[in-house]
Structure 1
């Protein structure tokens, strides 16, 4: 479902508006049950999406491919050509691939003839139809929700992968909202409400994806978890250097735990800067890191003065040393001693 919802949002953004009618096959992501004739039991989430965009879905008859004309065949052929070209390229990430595919589809509009008016391209007809499209609202919040149980090691299972969540949620039930690129985990009911956690989604199998920050609060009770804890192997490089240095000494795990717990108060970026400065100075300890962090956070103590104020601070008469006060103090002490 989440892929279907995302496809609609991207399509309407590319069209520059929402059509008043959409024609669909009887796909399971849209139709729960096919009845007699045009009778359909529409999926609740699909119906919520059509209600959000305010367009009317229309479903084809079963085994009636001719109802879509040659649109489906044109899309199939062009899609095959685009993927063949994409297979010859290399992409640094999924976002780059999607951007290229988006442009390839737009280019196809200017090349493909319209199935009903072959003298016009898809782009030509689209220009005429744009004025008839309905306004495009904010994208439909197209997630699929599922309740899962958090394990004793603060992991949830979702589609053959495991993801970490805050360790405070262990042994509770949480809600997983699946989007095409991420999972949003809503914690157990509590006062005040817990902040939802967003996790990058993986489509591999058998992976365990940790976020080391989910386990920081555990270190207050179990600092030894740092020594063999798989989640902490994904920490940023400065923290890994600090950990390697500290764990060579007795009590280093507790010192490292102190540094990591400072993140909840000061934020990750500031703590990383303090750790890097401490490593450069060669004085690696929790006290030194926290001291550097305090100096980074405190406001500048001395402000520069305007030049106009400087003459009033000029010393015109140097101070004279007056030691008579010490003589009187000594005399007073001698008198007390005699008494």
Structure 2
């Protein structure tokens, strides 16, 4: 589990990268709700217009993405019940953290500890025991997916670009040019013809 400030594409991609790192590999199938960061349009039955960037991530990791029918929570097994139970275990008492990075480090260690304590419910032993048995079936993750979201931006004469109601300064060589703004959870990359500038995200 990880905490993010927003529920956007770049956060979703980052969450997958960390999940596969912690799990030690990639499952062959992922079951998803019809969240807007993955599905652009829900059609009849199993028809879906899947977000192009989400498909790029799925192709990178080579797993199969399946989407539940609308209002059919039972198709996700015990996920929603487990999430409800996990909230109580994780957030009581409320953790103290000075930053989002510190909170996410705590969440990762706390989840691993809970895996050891929580019975699987179907298989004998704990969640950690079941994970150890199933980990051999995971695919190798390889390098993390480069999970940016890209926008085309026009740099002002005063070397500023606008994004999410904020203004960011870029090198003078980008003035009056159209650049590519690559958005990550914690930073931006401003890509010009021959130069890349990196700045922190507000």
TM-score w.r.t. structure 2 length? 0.90
How far has the Cα of 1:176 moved from its partner? 0.5
How far has the Cα of 1:60 moved from its partner? 0.7
Kindly report which structure 2 residues correspond to 1:328-339, keeping only aligned pairs within 5 A, or say none. Answer: none
How far has the Cα of 1:40 moved from its partner? 1.2
Give the equivalent residue in structure 2 for 1:16.
Answer: 24
The CA distance in 2 between the partners of 1:105 and 1:163, in whole Å, is: 37
Equivalent pair of 1:150/1:174 in contact (CA under 8 Å): yes
Query: Higher helix fraction: Structure 1 or Structure 2?
Result: 1
Give the equivalent residue in structure 2 for 1:105.
Answer: 111
The CA distance in 2 between the partners of 1:88 and 1:138, in whole Å, is: 31
Give the equivalent residue in structure 1 for 2:4.
Answer: none
Structure 1 ranges of 4+ moved more than 4 A? none
The CA distance in 1 between the partners of 2:22 and 2:187, in whole Å, is: 22
1:50 and 2:61 are equivalent in the alignment? no
* Root-mean-square deviation (Å): 1.5
The CA distance in 1 between the partners of 2:66 and 2:168, in whole Å, is: 39
The CA distance in 2 between the partners of 1:125 and 1:83, in whole Å, is: 24
The CA distance in 1 between the partners of 2:28 and 2:78, in whole Å, is: 21
The CA distance in 2 between the partners of 1:70 and 1:131, in whole Å, is: 23
The equivalent position to 1:89 in structure 2, one of 67, 82, 96, is 96
How far has the Cα of 1:107 moved from its partner? 1.3
State the Cα deviation string for residues 145-186 of structure 1 (Å, max 9, x = none).
001111222111111111110022122111100001100110
Give the equivalent residue in structure 2 for 1:66.
Answer: 74
The equivalent position to 2:191 in structure 1, one of 186, 190, 208, is 186
The 3 A distance-change label for structure 1 pair 58 and 52 is: same
How far has the Cα of 1:69 moved from its partner? 2.2
Equivalent pair of 1:71/1:115 in contact (CA under 8 Å): no
Unaligned runs of 5+ in 1: 203-339
The CA distance in 1 between the partners of 2:134 and 2:84, in whole Å, is: 23
Kindly report which structure 2 residues correspond to 1:229-240, keeping only aligned pairs within 5 A, or say none. Answer: none
The CA distance in 2 between the partners of 1:143 and 1:150, in whole Å, is: 20
Count, aligned residues: 194
Give the equivalent residue in structure 1 for 2:142.
Answer: 137
How far has the Cα of 1:115 moved from its partner? 4.0
Give the equivalent residue in structure 2 for 1:77.
Answer: 85
Equivalent pair of 1:175/1:186 in contact (CA under 8 Å): yes
Give the secondary-structure state (helix, strand or coil) at the position aligned to 1:89.
coil
The 3 A distance-change label for structure 1 pair 63 and 173 is: same
The CA distance in 1 between the partners of 2:186 and 2:20, in whole Å, is: 19
The CA distance in 1 between the partners of 2:128 and 2:142, in whole Å, is: 23
More RCO (CA 8 Å, sep 6+)? 2
Give the secondary-structure state (helix, strand or coil) at the position aligned to 1:62.
coil
The CA distance in 2 between the partners of 1:75 and 1:123, in whole Å, is: 17
State the Cα deviation string for residues 12-36 of structure 1 (Å, max 9, x = none).
0000010000000011111111111
The CA distance in 1 between the partners of 2:49 and 2:151, in whole Å, is: 22
Kindly report which structure 2 residues correspond to 1:301-316, keeping only aligned pairs within 5 A, or say none. Answer: none
